Amino acid sequence: MSYLLGVVLFALAILISVSLHEAGHMLTAKAFGMKVTRYFVGFGPTLWSFRRGETEYGIKGIPLGGFCKIVGMTPQDDDVEPGDEKRAMWRYPVWKRTIVMSAGSITHFALALIALWIIAVSVGLPNPKFPSTEAGFRAEPAVIAIAPCVVVENAARACESGDPASPAEKAQLKDGDRITAVNGKPVSTWGDMLDVVRATPPGTATVAYVRDGKPDDARVDLASVQRPPLGDPKGAASSVSALGVALSPTTPTRVEYGPVAAFGATADFTGTMAVQTAHAMQRIPQKVPALWNAITGGERDVDTPISVVGASRLGGEAVENNAWLVFFMLFVSLNFFIGVFNLLPLLPLDGGHIAIAWFERARSWLYARIGRADPGRVDYLKLMPFTYAVILIGGAFTLLTVTADVINPITLFSR
């Protein structure tokens, strides 16, 4: 039940975000005097509507987004009534049209920033000093957290009944102990400990550690497990020793901020997220084969793109596991991604309209400088083949991600 509630809540959060996106277009257009005739949440048949002034507001039957109708977005639009010619959007200065067309993405960015600021002052943002790479984790001090069991086979799964208990737990080691040596071989970092333990034959070993500042040692019966080489998780597994512990990083994973300091932390985190989003978008074409592989029976790569369906399912998992921070970080990431994606200079995206407006402005400036007549506005009808190509590619990719999210979804928690 909680899973379904989470799915519905996340889908509702997305719908509200998209509705606010369209509201951003509408409010800025009205502020500049442009005529907005319709603002609806959803698509399809109208369930309820009312008119205030010259605008009809309402709700439609298919809750998959929303739209607002601004009169005369392009010179080719035929929706301009007599007397409204001066209010057609395409007649307004380019900077005003840019603000109107970018208002949707700005709304998504604002939602993400507000949510991040609240997270920063309430539960904290990810610590930028926390290790983000395997090399970083290996450099952490060898402070351990006792694992509940040892998974003997080479499998990434949770403990099950029948799995042997952790050798470290049986030897009465505790969370927070810092390993300093194994069979007399010094250990200073987590990476050192992994190397030494794996190189030690299974069976009895002497493990030196420090607890509460006091050194001590324990006799531990190291387990024999199957694991791939360190640094090569897809390599061939072999028999190695295991202590039955996990890394307990000494660097906190999150940092809470005061109301003022949270603004700077939010800005820094947003910059990091912008770089990660750019890299993720660059990798999208490379992930298409992985999505197809997931649909046809292969393992789903957690680094593949997800659709609104997949994001909602992850939101459901987060609520089911009481991981509200994951829920809201998903909300932040999705809004930021939509905001960036919508500014791409491609029709029919808002960024495509912005790019054309500034192309017209630059072309007019250049022609004036070389003494030639202004060529006027771009003919959108001539761009329709490119627009349809973008729609076709985007639709196919959306169908691919939705299918993968239904058939072979990404999961964050064991269910």
Which residue numbers are catalytic?
Answer: 22
10 Å Cβ neighbour count for 8? Answer: 14
**């790479």: which residue's tokens?**
133
CA-wise closest residue to 391 among 343, 337, 349: 349
Measured in degrees and rounded to the nearest 5, phi and psi for residue 239 equal -80, 120
Residue 79 near residue 85 (C-beta atoms within 8 A): no
How far is Cα 359 from Cα 33, in angstroms, rounded to an integer? 24
The residues, any chain, with a CB within 8 Å of residue 86's CB and separated by 6 or more, are: none
Quick one: residue 125, left, alpha or beta (phi over 0 = left, psi -120 to 50 = alpha)? Answer: beta
Tokens 């952790």 locate to 166
Are the beta carbons of 189 and 138 closer than 8 angstroms?
A: yes
Q: Distance between CA 4 and CA 182 in Å, rounded?
A: 48
Contact 4, 25 (CB under 8 A): no
Q: How many CA atoms lie within 13 A of 139 on its CB side?
A: 9
Contact 342, 104 (CB under 8 A): yes
Task: Give CA–CA dist 347/74, Å, rounded.
Answer: 12
Nearest-CA neighbor of 37 among 21, 58, 18?
Answer: 58
Amino acid occupying residue 2: S
Name the pairing type of β-strands 245-247 and 238-242. Answer: unpaired
In the beta sheet, which residues pair with residue 178?
Answer: 143, 210
Tell me how far apart the alpha carbons of residues 105 and 98 are, in angstroms, rounded to a whole number.
11
The torsion angles phi and psi of 82, rounded to 5 degrees, stand at: -55, 130
Asked whether 350 and 49 are in contact (CB, 8 A), the reply is no
